[in-house]
Amino acid sequence: MQPLIWRLVATKRAYQLQREYKEIEKLMQGLNNASRLQLATLTQREFVAASKSEFPHLYGTPPEQRYSAWGSGTEIGLSRARSDNLPVRLRGIALWLTVAYHETRGTTLPALDNVHRSLLRALRFLREAAPTASAGWFTAEEAAA
């Protein structure tokens, strides 16, 4: 049994991530096919870079913020995703998806699990939009998670 305080913090974080995800999803839906292909490629690169990181859920977080409850990668990604500049927007979406995926992966809390499932749907959307760019994105273990 997890302490009540931790569940409340996780529920608040899940609510925040779900709200941000809705914005990211709208931005992804508004992309044309060429931009979706670019986004799929960038997201794949971000996943590779994050997986090489010591703490993938803190990917994109400045070193001085490493000891917070969660990193600032999603905040940075969302602020970039709101940019009018398409390359910056695509990089922001890719960063947000990567960090949020790693942050919610393997959770035992239902609220965060729902966010993780939403992220998996978004990643599937990208893989289907750009099948040639998505080869090797996930190993069988990560796809089952």
What are 105-117's pLDDT values in tens digits?
888 788 888 899 9
- Quote the pTM value: 0.84
The domain locations on the chain are: 15-144
23 burial type by CB count under 10 A (0-12 exposed, 13-18 middle, 19+ buried):
middle
Percent of the chain with pLDDT over 70: 83
Residue type, 95: L
For residue range 69-128, list pLDDT tens digits in order: 677 888 999 999 999 999 999 999 999 999 999 888 888 788 888 899 999 999 998 888
Q: How far apart are CA 106 and CA 16, in angstroms?
A: 18
